[in-house]
Structures are given as C-alpha cells and as structure tokens.
Amino acid sequence: MKPLSFKRYRFPAAVIRQAVWLYFRFSLSLRDVEELMAARGIDVSYETIRCWTIKFGPQIARLKKLRPSPSRRWHLDEVVCSIGGKRMFLWRAVDDEGEVLDVVVQRRRDTDAALKLLRRLLRNQPVEPEKIVTDGLASYQAALSQLGLRHLHSPGRLRENNRAENSHLPIRRRERQQQLFKSQASAQRFLTTHAAIYNTFYTQRHLITRPTLRRFRAEAEAAWVAAAA
C-alpha cells in the first residue's frame, strides 16, 4: 500500500496516528482525545484532531484490504437514526462472525435502498453469499428477487438475525458520544472508517484462550502499522 504523507504537519506522524487511532478505536469524543494527548504532554486542539480524522481516517480505512475473506453467511439489518435533524436509516451488513461487511446511510427504507446495499456487497466482497439473513422487511425480498438471489434468503426468523441487531450497539454508543451525527456525508465517512478499524481490532475474547488473544492483538497492531505507516 502507498504510505501516508505527513509532510508539512507541525506534529510528528506518530502523534497524528495515535490521535486518529484513539478516536476511531474507542468511544471518545474529540475533546476526550485532546485531554488524553494533553496528559502525555502534547498540546493539540480538538479541532486539529478533527481535521486529522477527516483527512487520514478514510485513507487508513484501506486496512480492510488486509482482512481475510469474510464468511459467506451474511446478516442484513437497518435501523433508524437522526442525522442533521432528519430521519434517516443506517443499513448494515455483517457476516456470522461479526465482521462488518458494509454500512450505508440512506434516506429511505424501501426496495431501492435495499438494492443499493446488496449491489455494494456483491461488488465489493471477495466471496459470494451462500445465505442472506434479514428481518421481516419486505424490501429485502423484493430486492433479492430482482438480483436473482431469492433462494438464498432467510427472512424474519426468531433470533436468527441477532448478529446484525447486536452489531448496531457500537454505533449507537458513538452516536450518543458525538451527540448525533451532523450530516449524511460525515456520518457515512465516519462509519466506513470506524467499521474498518473495528473489524481489525474486534476479538471475541470469551471464546479464545489468552495466548490466542495476544496473537490476535499483535496481528491487529501489525495491520494498523501497515495501513498508517
């Protein structure tokens, strides 16, 4: 991957990378990151950190290319949210292991919106789905019929789509921390970057041993260094 360029920045690259990592990795506001940096003797304003996240966040999101191929069992769900004072819908797709496949912010909750999500998934994912689990929304059924994937659909099963439902929780926490998203474009930019970094550092620690957890953390750190170098 092409290295990031930190030329003509007053702060060292390591400081910028650390601030961006803190903001996207944890449920912190820009002012929280400013205070954490100040505690380490680095005097940087939250507005400067905001500019760093806007510029370098989408570039660092390329680390999703370093991830292994996701599972072929996909879970799709949508949730309503308030963005810029308007009612919008966050369409989300994850695999059966919790890997975020894609996130799309849209104004509608209809067949066209479901088609947009599905087409993005089919275009950008390295594997073809073998099963697509959704809630009872009829728009999924109509969209999958248009794409010729109706035979893969598993709609409205009790508890079967909990994986997608639970995947909204980290975003809900960030939404509260940021006092709601301000615009559709900024929400889409943040959520795309957050998903890439979340996937890299996400581990189901209750299912693995401590040595395996240390190995996963080392691999995640190596992927972050490669993407943010």
* Nearest-angstrom CA–CA distance, 224 and 39: 23
- Counting Cα atoms < 13 Å in the Cβ hemisphere of 52 gives 29
* pLDDT, position 61: 79
* pLDDT, position 207: 72
* Nearest-angstrom CA–CA distance, 184 and 198: 20
CATH of domain 68-182: 3.30.420.10
* pLDDT, position 106: 93
Residue of 169, 190, 192, 197 lying closest to 83 (CA atoms):
190
Q: What is the largest CA-CA distance in the chain?
A: 58
pLDDT along the chain (229 residues), means of 10: 80 91 90 94 94 89 78 90 88 88 92 94 92 90 94 78 72 77 87 86 77 86 80
* pLDDT, position 206: 67
Residue of 122, 131, 121 lying closest to 152 (CA atoms):
131
* pLDDT, position 48: 95
Residue 41 in 3-state DSSP?
coil
Residue 86's H or E segment, with its range, is: strand 86-95
Residue 104's H or E segment, with its range, is: strand 100-106
* Nearest-angstrom CA–CA distance, 19 and 118: 34
Domain range annotation of the chain: 1-66+190-229, 68-182
